């Protein structure tokens, strides 16, 4: 490795990006990986992604994808499946399956073990590793290989766990949620020992310090960006259309609040909502749609291309992010970049991300959200004002190129720190 202070600040880096699952169109981790890797390559760096299923979609041929396969126990078409005997390759697969069968979520742990084995074999292929919120115990071994490590925590999953526990109906449901989220304790322990942590907002930093007990001096805030080649205004909008994106069919995303609000507005106004999400079959969202008798007033879409998503967001008169918590919210930025007037919950990092460029409402307050939707529906002038405000905020604050440049700065700091430790150990 090049010595610190002798050109290390200029040379291209060989970056290993680590992600236990990298769903490309839904969920902040996969979107982050896709855009960051593209911009790093465009800046002249070499990028290799080591990922479990679902694998990412990549925007540059130069990006190398190394598959680190799990048993893929949570695939959309066959969740909680029982693998065939010949699918088991080693003890890590057995651990993963046993963990799943006892109600836990094993992927952060088992991916971290698998990726450590891969990096141990290929240590000299990389200058730095960047962990995309895996936080498994195997990650602690990366530093012992002498490989500098930077970690991204978009927000601590402890927040998701608490919201799910609060929504659980009985003690059995609470027990099941506690078991599923058992990996959070491991992530907290690893986060305290892992070194430099990048997070996306002041709100997430506070949550990481509170829940994971990470030293705030180890946490750097670096907001995310938006791909304005995909998300931008596109002309005419569909009258009465409201759009929202939800990466998971879970209480934290607040889809229930949005549906209840739309049901109220739809009794007086000609409105409909399109939700970019895949609700669980027979799950609470499907049941709520039937209960509210929304019929063709609601439509769920999933698996669409980037361009189709950009068209959908730009076709709406109003966008809503009704979440009960967000560590950042890429959808909020994408809505603003599309020129769509934004209504968002006053929760987590959303006030920080949205600023004065959108309307903030109390999380979970159906009546307040319904009142704002009525007002925006009735006022093209107000919608136009919020549209311009959102576009201006995106231009000023959110660009993936700037995110990548700042991230490289953190890579170089981690490399320099590792060099000092290596030199000190020689004396």
Q: What is the pLDDT of residue 25?
A: 61
Question: Which single residue is written with the structure tokens 């766990």?
Answer: 161
pLDDT average, residue stretch 150-162: 94
Q: Which helix (H) or strand (E) holds 199?
A: strand 197-199
Q: Quick one: 96 and 111 in the same domain?
A: yes
* Residues 245 and 371 reside in one and the same domain: yes
β-bridge partners, 275: 244, 300
Rg (CA), the chain: 22
- Which tens digit of pLDDT belongs to each residue from 268-297? 999 999 999 989 888 889 999 999 999 999
Asked if 94 and 211 sit in the same domain, the reply is: yes
pLDDT surpasses 80 at 3: no
Contact 146, 168 (CB under 8 A): no
pLDDT tens profile 175-200: 999 999 999 999 999 999 999 999 99
Distance from C-alpha of 144 to C-alpha of 17, rounded to nearest angstrom: 18
Domain that holds residue 249: 241-397
Question: Does residue 1 form part of some domain?
Answer: no
Same domain (yes/no): 367, 417:
no
Mean pLDDT over residues 60-86, rounded? 94
pLDDT averaged over the chain?
A: 93
| Residue whose structure tokens are 């190398």 | 64
How many residues in total does the chain contain? 427
**Least confident span in 42-56, 140-154, 413-427:** 413-427
Residue 160 maps to which CATH number?
A: 3.40.50.2000
Element counts in the chain: helices (H) and strands (E): 16, 13
CA proximity to 130, closest of 154, 153, 152: 152
Same domain, 164 and 251: no
């Amino acid at each position: 490795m090049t010595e610190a202070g002798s050109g290390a600040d200029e040379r291209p880096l060989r970056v290993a990006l680590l992600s236990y699952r990298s769903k490309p169109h839904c969920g902040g981790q996969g979107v982050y990986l896709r855009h960051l890797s593209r911009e790093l390559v465009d800046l002249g760096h070499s990028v290799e992604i080591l990922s479990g299923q679902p694998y990412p979609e990549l925007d540059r041929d130069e990006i190398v994808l190394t598959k680190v396969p799990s048993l893929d126990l949570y695939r959309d078409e066959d969740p909680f499946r029982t693998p065939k005997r010949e699918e088991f390759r080693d003890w890590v697969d057995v651990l993963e399956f046993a963990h799943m069968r006892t109600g836990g979520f094993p992927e952060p742990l088992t991916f971290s073990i698998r990726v450590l084995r891969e990096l141990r074999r290929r240590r000299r292929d990389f200058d730095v590793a960047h962990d995309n919120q895996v936080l498994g115990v195997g990650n602690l071994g990366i530093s012992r290989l002498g490989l500098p490590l930077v970690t991204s925590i978009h927000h601590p999953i402890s927040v998701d766990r608490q919201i799910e526990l609060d929504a659980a109906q009985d003690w059995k449901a609470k027990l099941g949620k506690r078991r599923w989220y058992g990996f959070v304790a491991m992530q907290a322990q690893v986060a305290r020992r892992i070194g430099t942590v990048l997070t996306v907002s002041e709100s997430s930093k506070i949550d990481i310090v509170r829940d994971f007990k990470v030293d705030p001096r180890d946490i750097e805030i670096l907001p995310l960006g938006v791909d304005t080649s995909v998300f931008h205004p596109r002309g005419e909008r569909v009258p009465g259309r409201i759009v929202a994106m939800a990466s998971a069919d879970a209480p934290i995303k607040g889809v229930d609040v949005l549906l209840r609000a739309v049901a109220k507005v739809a009794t007086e106004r000609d409105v409909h909502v399109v939700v970019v999400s895949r609700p669980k079959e027979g799950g609470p969202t499907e049941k709520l749609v039937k209960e509210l008798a929304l019929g063709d007033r609601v439509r769920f879409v999933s698996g669409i291309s980037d361009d189709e998503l950009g068209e959908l967001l730009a076709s709406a008169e109003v966008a809503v992010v009704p979440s009960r918590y967000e560590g950042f919210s890429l959808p909020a930025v994408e809505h603003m970049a599309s020129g769509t007037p934004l209504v968002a919950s006053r929760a987590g990092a959303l006030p920080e991300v949205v600023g004065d460029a959108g309307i903030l409402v109390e999380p979970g307050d159906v009546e307040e959200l319904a009142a704002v939707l009525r007002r925006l529906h009735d006022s093209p002038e107000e919608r136009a004002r919020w549209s311009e405000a959102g576009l201006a905020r995106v231009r000023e604050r959110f660009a993936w190129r700037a995110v990548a440049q700042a991230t490289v700065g953190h890579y170089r700091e981690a490399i320099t720190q590792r060099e000092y430790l290596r030199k000190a150990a020689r004396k």
